[in-house]
Structure 1
Amino acid sequence: MDLEQRVAELERRMAALEGSAPPAAPGEGALWALEGLKSQLEQAGSESGGVLFTGAVRLPRGERYEWQYGALTEQLLDDDWSATADAFAALGHPVRLRLLREVLGGRSTAAELAELPETGTTGQVYHHLRQLTGAGWLHAAGRGHYEVPAARVVPLLVALTAARP
Protein backbone atom coordinates (compact mmCIF):
# COMPACT_ATOMS: atom_id res chain seq x y z
CA MET A 1 0.00 0.00 0.00
CA ASP A 2 1.53 3.33 -1.01
CA LEU A 3 1.71 6.38 1.26
CA GLU A 4 -1.33 8.14 -0.27
CA GLN A 5 -3.51 5.09 0.25
CA ARG A 6 -2.30 4.69 3.82
CA VAL A 7 -3.03 8.36 4.61
CA ALA A 8 -6.48 8.12 2.98
CA GLU A 9 -7.25 5.01 5.04
CA LEU A 10 -6.14 6.73 8.25
CA GLU A 11 -8.28 9.78 7.41
CA ARG A 12 -11.26 7.54 6.72
CA ARG A 13 -10.81 5.72 10.03
CA MET A 14 -10.52 9.01 11.94
CA ALA A 15 -13.65 10.37 10.27
CA ALA A 16 -15.52 7.16 11.13
CA LEU A 17 -14.39 7.37 14.75
CA GLU A 18 -15.50 10.99 14.90
CA GLY A 19 -18.87 10.04 13.45
CA SER A 20 -18.57 12.13 10.30
CA ALA A 21 -18.28 9.33 7.77
CA PRO A 22 -19.69 5.85 7.33
CA PRO A 23 -17.31 2.92 7.69
CA ALA A 24 -15.64 1.78 4.49
CA ALA A 25 -17.29 -0.87 2.39
CA PRO A 26 -15.44 -3.97 1.25
CA GLY A 27 -12.94 -3.57 -1.53
CA GLU A 28 -9.77 -1.74 -2.34
CA GLY A 29 -9.63 1.63 -0.61
CA ALA A 30 -12.37 3.53 1.16
CA LEU A 31 -14.07 4.79 -2.03
CA TRP A 32 -13.67 1.76 -4.28
CA ALA A 33 -17.21 1.91 -5.72
CA LEU A 34 -16.92 5.64 -6.37
CA GLU A 35 -13.60 5.19 -8.15
CA GLY A 36 -15.16 2.52 -10.38
CA LEU A 37 -18.12 4.80 -11.17
CA LYS A 38 -15.82 7.72 -12.02
CA SER A 39 -13.82 5.48 -14.35
CA GLN A 40 -17.02 4.36 -16.12
CA LEU A 41 -18.26 7.95 -16.43
CA GLU A 42 -14.94 9.06 -17.86
CA GLN A 43 -15.09 6.29 -20.47
CA ALA A 44 -18.68 7.27 -21.33
CA GLY A 45 -17.67 10.92 -21.68
CA SER A 46 -20.13 12.15 -19.05
CA GLU A 47 -19.26 15.60 -17.78
CA SER A 48 -21.99 15.98 -15.17
CA GLY A 49 -21.41 12.69 -13.36
CA GLY A 50 -23.74 9.97 -12.26
CA VAL A 51 -25.18 7.89 -9.47
CA LEU A 52 -24.68 4.20 -8.77
CA PHE A 53 -26.21 1.90 -6.20
CA THR A 54 -25.52 -1.75 -5.83
CA GLY A 55 -25.90 -4.58 -3.39
CA ALA A 56 -25.29 -8.25 -2.71
CA VAL A 57 -27.95 -9.36 -0.21
CA ARG A 58 -28.72 -12.62 1.54
CA LEU A 59 -32.06 -12.65 3.35
CA PRO A 60 -32.89 -14.74 6.44
CA ARG A 61 -34.60 -17.46 4.37
CA GLY A 62 -31.52 -17.80 2.18
CA GLU A 63 -32.62 -15.85 -0.88
CA ARG A 64 -29.72 -14.08 -2.55
CA TYR A 65 -29.89 -10.95 -4.66
CA GLU A 66 -27.14 -9.20 -6.58
CA TRP A 67 -28.21 -5.99 -8.19
CA GLN A 68 -26.88 -2.69 -9.47
CA TYR A 69 -28.27 0.36 -11.15
CA GLY A 70 -26.67 3.53 -12.39
CA ALA A 71 -27.94 6.72 -13.99
CA LEU A 72 -26.33 9.82 -15.42
CA THR A 73 -26.87 13.04 -13.50
CA GLU A 74 -28.36 14.88 -16.46
CA GLN A 75 -30.89 12.07 -16.98
CA LEU A 76 -31.93 12.19 -13.33
CA LEU A 77 -32.28 15.98 -13.31
CA ASP A 78 -34.34 15.92 -16.52
CA ASP A 79 -36.72 13.16 -15.35
CA ASP A 80 -40.22 13.87 -14.02
CA TRP A 81 -39.70 13.36 -10.30
CA SER A 82 -43.44 13.38 -9.61
CA ALA A 83 -43.58 9.91 -11.20
CA THR A 84 -41.78 8.58 -8.10
CA ALA A 85 -44.16 10.13 -5.56
CA ASP A 86 -46.31 7.01 -5.10
CA ALA A 87 -43.29 4.80 -4.44
CA PHE A 88 -41.98 7.21 -1.81
CA ALA A 89 -45.43 7.77 -0.31
CA ALA A 90 -45.90 4.03 0.17
CA LEU A 91 -42.74 3.98 2.29
CA GLY A 92 -43.92 6.94 4.36
CA HIS A 93 -45.86 4.97 6.96
CA PRO A 94 -44.28 3.09 9.90
CA VAL A 95 -46.65 0.10 9.56
CA ARG A 96 -45.79 -0.30 5.87
CA LEU A 97 -42.08 -0.24 6.66
CA ARG A 98 -42.68 -2.85 9.36
CA LEU A 99 -44.62 -5.04 6.91
CA LEU A 100 -41.81 -4.83 4.36
CA ARG A 101 -39.24 -5.72 7.01
CA GLU A 102 -41.32 -8.70 8.10
CA VAL A 103 -41.80 -9.94 4.53
CA LEU A 104 -38.05 -9.68 3.90
CA GLY A 105 -37.55 -11.52 7.18
CA GLY A 106 -39.69 -14.47 6.10
CA ARG A 107 -43.30 -13.75 7.02
CA SER A 108 -45.18 -13.99 3.77
CA THR A 109 -48.89 -14.36 4.39
CA ALA A 110 -51.40 -11.66 5.14
CA ALA A 111 -52.55 -13.72 8.14
CA GLU A 112 -49.03 -13.79 9.62
CA LEU A 113 -48.66 -10.07 9.05
CA ALA A 114 -52.06 -9.29 10.59
CA GLU A 115 -51.06 -11.16 13.78
CA LEU A 116 -48.14 -8.81 14.42
CA PRO A 117 -48.58 -6.35 17.27
CA GLU A 118 -49.06 -2.69 16.44
CA THR A 119 -49.94 -3.24 12.77
CA GLY A 120 -53.65 -2.51 13.21
CA THR A 121 -56.73 -4.44 12.29
CA THR A 122 -56.81 -7.03 9.53
CA GLY A 123 -58.52 -4.47 7.30
CA GLN A 124 -55.81 -1.91 7.99
CA VAL A 125 -53.09 -4.45 7.22
CA TYR A 126 -54.77 -5.28 3.90
CA HIS A 127 -54.98 -1.55 3.13
CA HIS A 128 -51.22 -1.19 3.73
CA LEU A 129 -50.50 -4.30 1.66
CA ARG A 130 -52.52 -2.85 -1.24
CA GLN A 131 -50.58 0.42 -0.99
CA LEU A 132 -47.25 -1.41 -1.05
CA THR A 133 -48.36 -3.66 -3.89
CA GLY A 134 -49.68 -0.74 -5.94
CA ALA A 135 -46.37 1.09 -5.55
CA GLY A 136 -44.38 -1.99 -6.57
CA TRP A 137 -42.72 -2.66 -3.21
CA LEU A 138 -44.66 -5.92 -2.77
CA HIS A 139 -45.96 -8.54 -5.13
CA ALA A 140 -48.96 -10.76 -4.42
CA ALA A 141 -47.57 -14.25 -4.86
CA GLY A 142 -50.97 -15.97 -4.64
CA ARG A 143 -53.33 -17.12 -1.88
CA GLY A 144 -52.53 -14.27 0.49
CA HIS A 145 -48.76 -14.62 0.14
CA TYR A 146 -46.59 -11.57 -0.47
CA GLU A 147 -43.00 -11.05 -1.49
CA VAL A 148 -40.72 -8.13 -2.22
CA PRO A 149 -39.94 -8.38 -5.95
CA ALA A 150 -36.30 -9.27 -6.62
CA ALA A 151 -35.71 -5.99 -8.48
CA ARG A 152 -36.91 -4.03 -5.41
CA VAL A 153 -34.91 -5.70 -2.61
CA VAL A 154 -31.68 -3.72 -3.05
CA PRO A 155 -33.43 -0.42 -3.93
CA LEU A 156 -35.52 -0.76 -0.75
CA LEU A 157 -32.40 -1.29 1.35
CA VAL A 158 -30.69 1.62 -0.44
CA ALA A 159 -33.65 3.91 0.33
CA LEU A 160 -33.53 2.87 3.98
CA THR A 161 -29.78 3.46 4.08
CA ALA A 162 -30.16 6.90 2.48
CA ALA A 163 -32.86 7.88 4.99
CA ARG A 164 -30.72 7.12 8.04
CA PRO A 165 -29.90 10.15 10.16
Structure 2
Amino acid sequence: MSAELSERVAELERRVAALEHRDEPEPPPEDDGGLITYAGRLTRPGELQWQVALPSSRVLALADQPRIEVLSALAHPARSAIVRHLAEHGSQPGAALQEAAELGSAGQFYHHLKALTGAGIVEQDKRGSYRLNPRAAIPALVLLAAAADIAGQLR
Protein backbone atom coordinates (compact mmCIF):
# COMPACT_ATOMS: atom_id res chain seq x y z
CA MET A 1 0.00 0.00 0.00
CA SER A 2 1.42 3.41 -0.92
CA ALA A 3 2.25 5.93 1.81
CA GLU A 4 -0.40 8.31 0.46
CA LEU A 5 -3.08 5.60 0.52
CA SER A 6 -2.06 4.53 4.04
CA GLU A 7 -2.33 8.12 5.21
CA ARG A 8 -5.76 8.51 3.61
CA VAL A 9 -7.01 5.26 5.21
CA ALA A 10 -5.67 6.35 8.61
CA GLU A 11 -7.45 9.72 8.25
CA LEU A 12 -10.73 7.99 7.35
CA GLU A 13 -10.36 5.69 10.36
CA ARG A 14 -9.83 8.73 12.63
CA ARG A 15 -12.93 10.39 11.19
CA VAL A 16 -15.08 7.28 11.64
CA ALA A 17 -13.86 6.90 15.23
CA ALA A 18 -14.65 10.56 15.92
CA LEU A 19 -18.14 10.16 14.47
CA GLU A 20 -18.66 7.09 16.62
CA HIS A 21 -17.28 9.03 19.60
CA ARG A 22 -14.90 6.21 20.48
CA ASP A 23 -11.69 7.92 19.59
CA GLU A 24 -8.86 8.24 22.06
CA PRO A 25 -7.84 11.82 22.78
CA GLU A 26 -4.93 12.92 20.65
CA PRO A 27 -1.95 14.44 22.38
CA PRO A 28 -2.20 18.22 22.38
CA PRO A 29 -0.34 19.92 19.54
CA GLU A 30 2.80 21.84 20.40
CA ASP A 31 2.68 25.63 20.34
CA ASP A 32 4.75 28.26 22.08
CA GLY A 33 1.80 30.66 22.40
CA GLY A 34 -0.47 28.54 24.55
CA LEU A 35 -3.03 25.81 24.34
CA ILE A 36 -6.84 25.93 24.29
CA THR A 37 -8.56 22.73 25.46
CA TYR A 38 -12.06 21.58 26.22
CA ALA A 39 -13.70 18.26 26.74
CA GLY A 40 -17.05 16.82 27.64
CA ARG A 41 -19.09 13.69 28.06
CA LEU A 42 -22.84 13.27 27.85
CA THR A 43 -24.48 10.04 28.96
CA ARG A 44 -28.01 10.94 28.00
CA PRO A 45 -29.82 10.95 25.75
CA GLY A 46 -26.92 9.09 24.13
CA GLU A 47 -23.26 8.51 24.88
CA LEU A 48 -21.10 11.33 23.52
CA GLN A 49 -17.49 12.13 24.31
CA TRP A 50 -15.44 14.99 22.96
CA GLN A 51 -11.99 16.41 23.53
CA VAL A 52 -10.26 19.22 21.67
CA ALA A 53 -6.78 20.65 22.19
CA LEU A 54 -5.55 23.35 19.84
CA PRO A 55 -2.67 25.79 19.84
CA SER A 56 -4.00 29.20 20.80
CA SER A 57 -2.34 30.68 17.71
CA ARG A 58 -4.49 28.43 15.51
CA VAL A 59 -7.68 29.40 17.35
CA LEU A 60 -6.83 33.10 17.06
CA ALA A 61 -6.05 32.78 13.33
CA LEU A 62 -9.44 31.30 12.37
CA ALA A 63 -11.89 33.40 10.36
CA ASP A 64 -14.42 35.17 12.57
CA GLN A 65 -17.60 34.82 10.48
CA PRO A 66 -18.30 31.07 11.00
CA ARG A 67 -17.83 31.27 14.77
CA ILE A 68 -19.86 34.48 14.99
CA GLU A 69 -22.74 32.66 13.28
CA VAL A 70 -22.58 29.92 15.92
CA LEU A 71 -22.38 32.42 18.79
CA SER A 72 -25.28 34.40 17.29
CA ALA A 73 -27.35 31.24 16.99
CA LEU A 74 -26.94 30.60 20.70
CA ALA A 75 -27.38 34.25 21.71
CA HIS A 76 -31.13 34.20 22.31
CA PRO A 77 -33.04 32.81 25.31
CA ALA A 78 -35.38 30.72 23.13
CA ARG A 79 -32.47 29.17 21.23
CA SER A 80 -30.57 28.44 24.40
CA ALA A 81 -33.72 26.81 25.81
CA ILE A 82 -34.04 24.64 22.70
CA VAL A 83 -30.40 23.51 22.97
CA ARG A 84 -30.70 22.79 26.70
CA HIS A 85 -33.96 20.86 26.16
CA LEU A 86 -32.44 18.73 23.40
CA ALA A 87 -29.32 18.07 25.50
CA GLU A 88 -31.48 16.88 28.39
CA HIS A 89 -34.22 14.99 26.55
CA GLY A 90 -32.76 13.97 23.19
CA SER A 91 -34.64 14.09 19.90
CA GLN A 92 -37.91 16.02 20.15
CA PRO A 93 -40.74 17.03 17.83
CA GLY A 94 -41.05 20.69 16.95
CA ALA A 95 -44.12 21.19 19.16
CA ALA A 96 -42.23 20.04 22.27
CA LEU A 97 -39.34 22.37 21.47
CA GLN A 98 -41.70 25.28 20.82
CA GLU A 99 -43.25 24.68 24.24
CA ALA A 100 -39.86 24.31 25.97
CA ALA A 101 -38.72 27.61 24.43
CA GLU A 102 -42.01 29.26 25.47
CA LEU A 103 -42.66 30.51 21.95
CA GLY A 104 -46.24 31.47 21.15
CA SER A 105 -46.27 30.72 17.46
CA ALA A 106 -44.85 28.19 15.05
CA GLY A 107 -43.44 31.09 13.02
CA GLN A 108 -41.37 32.28 15.99
CA PHE A 109 -40.19 28.74 16.66
CA TYR A 110 -39.09 28.10 13.08
CA HIS A 111 -37.30 31.47 12.97
CA HIS A 112 -35.16 30.39 15.93
CA LEU A 113 -34.81 26.82 14.69
CA LYS A 114 -33.49 28.12 11.36
CA ALA A 115 -30.68 29.96 13.16
CA LEU A 116 -29.73 26.79 15.08
CA THR A 117 -29.87 24.51 12.04
CA GLY A 118 -28.04 27.04 9.87
CA ALA A 119 -25.21 27.12 12.39
CA GLY A 120 -25.04 23.31 12.45
CA ILE A 121 -26.08 23.02 16.10
CA VAL A 122 -29.46 21.33 15.56
CA GLU A 123 -30.49 18.92 12.82
CA GLN A 124 -33.65 17.13 11.79
CA ASP A 125 -33.59 13.38 12.23
CA LYS A 126 -35.19 10.79 9.94
CA ARG A 127 -38.45 10.79 11.93
CA GLY A 128 -38.95 14.54 11.46
CA SER A 129 -37.97 15.41 15.02
CA TYR A 130 -35.01 17.59 15.93
CA ARG A 131 -31.83 16.71 17.78
CA LEU A 132 -28.48 18.22 18.60
CA ASN A 133 -25.96 17.55 15.89
CA PRO A 134 -23.67 15.00 17.60
CA ARG A 135 -20.58 16.93 16.43
CA ALA A 136 -22.00 20.13 17.96
CA ALA A 137 -23.59 18.88 21.20
CA ILE A 138 -20.64 19.12 23.57
CA PRO A 139 -19.07 22.20 21.94
CA ALA A 140 -22.43 24.02 22.18
CA LEU A 141 -22.77 23.09 25.86
CA VAL A 142 -19.16 24.18 26.43
CA LEU A 143 -20.08 27.56 24.92
CA LEU A 144 -23.06 27.84 27.27
CA ALA A 145 -20.86 26.86 30.24
CA ALA A 146 -18.16 29.35 29.22
CA ALA A 147 -20.76 32.11 28.91
CA ALA A 148 -22.07 31.25 32.38
CA ASP A 149 -18.50 31.39 33.71
CA ILE A 150 -17.89 34.82 32.13
CA ALA A 151 -21.21 36.01 33.55
CA GLY A 152 -20.13 34.92 37.04
CA GLN A 153 -22.77 32.19 37.37
CA LEU A 154 -20.28 29.44 38.18
CA ARG A 155 -18.64 31.13 41.13
Of 79, 83, 96, the match for 2:79? 96
Return the alpha-carbon distance in structure 2 between the equivalents of residues 145 and 112 of structure 1: 10
Q: Matched residues in 2 for 1:116 and 1:77: separation?
A: 35
Q: Residue 135 of structure 1 is aligned with which of 109, 119, 132?
A: 119
How much has 1:138 moved relative to structure 2?
0.1
Q: CA deviation at 1:117?
A: 6.6
CA RMSD of aligned residues (A): 2.1
Give, in angstroms, the shift of residue 83 of structure 1: 2.5
Q: Deviations over 1:2-58 (max 9, x none)?
A: xxxxxxxxxxxxxxxxxxxxxxxxxxxxxxxxxxxxx945xx3x2112111111221
> 2:125, 2:131 within 8 Å by CA — same for their partners in 1?
yes
Change (3 A) 1:142 1:130: farther
The one-letter code matched in structure 1 to 2:95 is A
Q: How does 1:101-120 map to 2 (within 5 A)?
A: 101-106=84-89, 108-116=92-100, 118-120=102-104
Please say if residues 81 and 100 of structure 2, whose CA atoms lie closer than 8 Å, have aligned partners that are also in contact: no
Paired letter, 1:129: L
Q: Distance in 2 between matches of 1:117 and 1:135?
A: 18
The amino acid that maps onto 1:100 is V
Gaps of 5+ in 2: 1-26
**Separation in 2, partners of 1:81, 1:154:** 20
Tell me, in whole angstroms, the C-alpha distance in 1 between the residues paired with 2:127 and 2:62.
37
Secondary structure, counterpart of 1:142 in structure 2: coil
Corresponding residue for 1:72?
55
Question: Moved runs in structure 1, 4+ residues, more than 6 A?
Answer: none
SS state of the match for residue 160, structure 1? Answer: helix
The structure 1 residue matched to 2:138, chosen from 154, 157, 160, is 154
Q: CA deviation at 1:103?
A: 1.5
Match of 1:86 among 65, 69, 73: 69
Report if aligned partners of 2:73, 2:116 keep a CA contact under 8 Å in 1.
Answer: yes
Partner of 1:124: 108
Q: Deviations over 1:62-110 (max 9, x none)?
A: x111111121111122221233111110001000111111112225110
Distance 2:66 2:50 in 1: 22
What one-letter code is carried by the residue in structure 2 that aligns with 1:140?
A: Q
Q: CA 1:161–1:83 in structure 2 vs 1: closer, same or farther (change >3 Å)?
A: same
TM-score by length of 2: 0.71
Structure 1 residues 97 and 40, CA gap change in structure 2 (3 angstroms): closer
